[in-house]
Chains A and B, each alone.
Chain A
Amino acid sequence: MSRPAGTTGRWVREHLVLLLGLLVLVYTFVPIAVVVLMSFNDPDSRLIYRFDGFTIDNWLNPCAEPSMCDAVVRSVEIGLLATVLATLLGTLAAFAMVRHRFVGRSTANLLVFLPMAAPEIVLGASLLALFVASGLGGQLGFWTILVAHVMFCLSFVIVAVRARLAGLDDTLEQAAMDLYATPAQTFWRVTFPLVFPGILGAALLAFSLSFDDFIITNLNAGNTTTFPMYVWGVAQRGVPMQVNVVGTVMLVLSIAIVLAGELRARRRAGR
């Protein structure tokens, strides 16, 4: 009598961590599963968010709502541009902060964290105040959004690249120079390839931050609409199911990127 109970108790104890882990995963993935499911929804009414029937129409006509597609394109454009600019500037800044001793270096190290720690609404509002005060109040739109996105992505890029660079053994660069590599060759043959994973990670992070952002964007967008702003705008009137298609595509793309990276790493390790 006591023995089966004891074994059950032990089984539960041994698998508790696994069980809790699964629960956390479920908690995380249920909303995403709903998005994927709803991308195949054939709704009876736009006002009620409910699965009424299966269809692939949403996938066949993703741009049934032209304004949504415009918003997606705009978000991708801003995301790519902001990523390129923030990654470039952030990588240069990270090199400066790790490799050079200059006045204000420790202050700069501290200030880099501020945009990450400050509430977005504060950043967005102060940026808007800055634009208005500089006489750009009438110019709010694509370019002000881009400036805002580069601003908040920069901190994340600097932190990510700096961590990678700080972990880099500097005798590797000395070895390269010892083996007849000029400073430029040393950088492109040794430093850059070794820091590249950090830069790539920073770029991916910057893109998703930019694509995602609502609060700062909303304050500095003027009449321009990005994808998150579009979703927010139509949420009151009923969301078109194509929004879920965009969401699912983003999900699949992220998973594909992560998988590709993982496969590459495994193939390298296996060789």
Chain B
Amino acid sequence: MSQVAEQSPGGGAVPAAGEETAYDGLRLRQVTKRFGGFTAVETLDLDVPRGSFFALLGPSGCGKTTTLRMVAGLETPTSGAIELAGHDITYAKPYRRPVNTVFQNYALFPHLDIFENVAFGLRRRKRKDVADAVHRMLELVELESQAKKKPAQLSGGQQQRVALARALINEPEVLLLDEPLGALDLKLRRAMQIEIKRIQVEVGLTFVHVTHDQEEAMTMADTVAVMNAGVIEQMGAPAELYENPRSTFVANFLGQSNLIEGRVLRRDADVVSVDMQGITVSVPAARAHTDGDRGWVGIRPEKVLIGEPGEELDAPGNTIPGGVISDVSFVGVSTQYLVRMPWGQELQVFSQNTGRHRIFRHGEPVELSWRPEYAFLLDISQDAHAGAEEGEE
């Protein structure tokens, strides 16, 4: 499956060979990193356009942090090349590349005050007007009044902002963020996501953000690359990844998906017809990611419509009868159902509580339907549960 993903990643970001000159963003070519016998990153190709907010999303151990550390110069690739603004930086020392990192544990210098922490990079490069620049940066992260304090005297969220300021002040070509919000509580994390996004827009630098939190990646980034087991599964805009996943891993890791086994009946120019447990459904050709004669029909739970048997549902697709509600959880804005289908599978359905429908009870018979343009078709050889557990965080 990795082969498929590599050769045709979404977003069309990998240019043809021969176009290698003068790319002003960050470019990774065939980068591999092995630790002893373990391959952390496998022949990775990546293009991060200048000025974009790019997220590397994946479960822990998928190689995203190793990739980041190779860009920072803290690890050396086993093979491959890393280019930044047209210069090869594969083997450059970390202190010789225009890259700065916000570390997961912030790594603030405990013996220096906030001012000196932020000034550290400028002083090493013997810049003038350090004080002005530091004060402007502290203003940006709203920590002006804390300049004389030591890192230990600040709260987690404040330390996070100092770490951000300390990296940003150097105006790097690329700012790397290694799970920077992982240590914060949920509420603060949401606030910081918006804050970091605001700062990125304001300063216009290239941000590469590593995270295992799919919601965080989708909220903040322009482009998300989903990484699994050392390779990029799919890359593209958050909405594109969510709406049109190319692998079961992406379908399950980003949000949730119902995956139903089906047999391909006919392939037309723009529609693929699939026999799904005796019911013929169609999937747009652009969303069919398999050449085989069998596949997983995928549909997001919120795209599934639910109604009483015989009820006219607002969907031009086929009606799938014979469902029985096996679980109901009311979560306020929506109601989440588990519906047991005649072929034994339980499908997830999220129904918005718009008041149009009453809430069904456990054991009631229902019919399901969805608009064909929301469905997608994935390769049958992939594990239908890949990425499901990791995505639940």
**Which of A131-139, A172-180, A254-262 touches B?**
A172-180
Which residue from A171, A181, A185, A189 sits with its C-beta under 8 Å from B103?
A: A171
A14 in the interface, Cβ–Cβ < 8 Å? no
Contact status of A175 and B110, CB under 8 A, knowing A180-B95, A181-B120, A181-B124: no
Is there an interface contact between B111 and A176, defined as CB atoms closer than 8 Å?
Answer: no
Residues of B within 8 A of A185 (CB): 124
Residues of A within 8 A of B239 (CB): none
A266 in the interface, Cβ–Cβ < 8 Å? no
A247 in the interface, Cβ–Cβ < 8 Å? no
Is there an interface contact between B166 and A179, defined as CB atoms closer than 8 Å?
Answer: yes
Residue from A179, A181, A182, A193 whose CB has the most chain B CB atoms within 10 Å: A179
Is there an interface contact between A171 and B105, defined as CB atoms closer than 8 Å?
Answer: yes
Q: Shortest beta-carbon distance, B127 to chain A, in Å? A: 10
Which residue from A171, A178, A271 sits with its C-beta under 8 Å from B95?
A: A178
Residues of A within 8 A of B124 (CB): 179-182, 185
Is there an interface contact between B148 and A178, defined as CB atoms closer than 8 Å?
Answer: no
Residues of B within 8 A of A177 (CB): 73-74, 93-95
Is there an interface contact between B101 and A178, defined as CB atoms closer than 8 Å?
Answer: yes
Looking across the interface, which residue of chain B has its beta carbon closest to that of A180? B124
B374 in the interface, Cβ–Cβ < 8 Å? no
A112 in the interface, Cβ–Cβ < 8 Å? no
B228 in the interface, Cβ–Cβ < 8 Å? no
How many Å lie between the Cα of A176 and that of B108 in the bound state?
Answer: 9
Residues of B within 8 A of A181 (CB): 95, 120, 124
Which residue from B99, B105, B108, B111 sits with its C-beta under 8 Å from A178?
A: B99
Residues of A within 8 A of B109 (CB): 172, 175-176, 190
A239 in the interface, Cβ–Cβ < 8 Å? no
Residues of A within 8 A of B101 (CB): 174-175, 178
Residues of B within 8 A of A180 (CB): 95, 121, 124-125, 170
How many Å lie between the Cα of A87 and that of B148 in the bound state?
Answer: 33
How many Å lie between the Cα of A182 and that of B148 in the bound state?
Answer: 26
How many Å lie between the Cα of A175 and that of B101 in the bound state?
Answer: 7
B72 in the interface, Cβ–Cβ < 8 Å? yes
Q: Shortest beta-carbon distance, B134 to chain A, in Å? A: 13
Q: Shortest beta-carbon distance, B182 to chain A, in Å? A: 14
B4 in the interface, Cβ–Cβ < 8 Å? no
Is there an interface contact between A179 and B100, defined as CB atoms closer than 8 Å?
Answer: yes
How many Å lie between the Cα of A77 and that of B369 in the bound state?
Answer: 92
B140 in the interface, Cβ–Cβ < 8 Å? no
How many Å lie between the Cα of A198 and that of B13 in the bound state?
Answer: 52
Could you give, for residues 39-78 of chain B, a 1 whenever the CB lies within 8 Å of some chain A CB and a 0 otherwise?
0000000000000000000000000000000001110000
Which residue from A169, A182, A194 sits with its C-beta under 8 Å from B111?
A: A194
Chain B residues at the A interface, C-beta cutoff of 8 Å: 72-74, 93-95, 99-101, 103, 105, 107-111, 120-121, 124-125, 148-150, 166-167, 170
16 contacts between A and B (CB under 8 A): A171-B107, A172-B109, A174-B107, A175-B107, A178-B73, A178-B100, A178-B167, A179-B95, A179-B121, A180-B121, A180-B125, A182-B124, A189-B120, A190-B109, A193-B111, A271-B148
Chain A residues at the B interface, C-beta cutoff of 8 Å: 169, 171-172, 174-182, 185, 189-190, 193-194, 268, 271
Extra 5 A-B pairs, beta carbons < 8 Å, given A181-B95, A181-B120:
A172-B107, A178-B100, A179-B166, A180-B170, A185-B124
